[in-house]
Amino acid sequence: MEKLGTKDKIMGFGHRVYKKGDSRVPVMREIGRDLGKRTGKEQWVPICEKLEEVMDREKHLCANVDLYAAPVFWMLGFPAELNTPLFAASRVAGWCAHVTEQHDHNRLIRPRSLYVGHKLRPYPGSTGKGA
Ligand SMILES: CC(C)(COP(=O)(O)OP(=O)(O)OC[C@H]1O[C@@H](n2cnc3c(N)ncnc32)[C@H](O)[C@@H]1OP(=O)(O)O)[C@@H](O)C(=O)NCCC(=O)NCCS
């Protein structure tokens, strides 16, 4: 509440595109709940749920995937200062694709963009049956 009073941004809430809710949140919340049971750290998901309730009440803002990714990484044993590097590492391939596409068309790529590439392609070295 103090942070909201000083107009600070609360990490893990809001998104430029997912204004009505981030579809990755329910998935990450359940991973957090499951990990909580397995590691004996069941407090994190209820804490995040309380934060969601307060942010909805005070700002009508929804959680983004990072709200639950933070306790998930923590329960997996990653120190908090690795949150941003992990976030970045998982996106490097996508960012490189965006750079290439932007060089081609000078359009900023947002998640709303429609994928028009190949459908299923075999993973190198696989039997070719799966995606
Ligand atoms: C992602 C983000 C940059 C989107 O910002 P945005 O496009 O300006 O968001 P909105 O237009 O929906 O903001 C509406 C209002 O809520 C405020 N707001 C947005 N996110 C907020 C947050 N996390 N905490 C507090 N207030 C927030 C905005 O300042 C704005 O207030 P105003 O109307 O008084 O100016 C922003 O939500 C943010 O910085 N979130 C925290 C960081 C984070 O979790 N990033 C990871 C995203 S995957």
- All structural domains of the chain, each given as residue ranges with its CATH number in brackets, are 2-87 (1.10.230.10)
Q: For the whole model, what pTM was predicted?
A: 0.80
Given the residues 34, 66, 98, 104, select the one marked as catalytic: 66
- In the chain, what is the straight-line distance between the N-terminal and C-terminal CA atoms, in Å? 46
| pLDDT tens by residue, 50-77 | 999 999 999 999 999 999 999 999 999 9
| Mutate-to-test residue for ligand 1 from 15, 20, 57, 83, highest number of ligand atoms within 8 A of CB | 15
Q: Whose CA is nearest to atom 25 of ligand 1?
A: 9
- 128 pLDDT tier (thresholds 50, 70, 90): low
Considering only CA atoms, which of 57, 59, 65 is closest in space to residue 31? 65
User: Who wins on pLDDT, 109 or 114?
Assistant: 114
Q: What average pLDDT does this structure show over 106-118?
A: 76
Longest dimension (CA), the chain: 57
The whole-number average pLDDT for the span 28-43 is 97
Q: Residue 46's closest CA among 33, 58, 27, 28?
A: 33
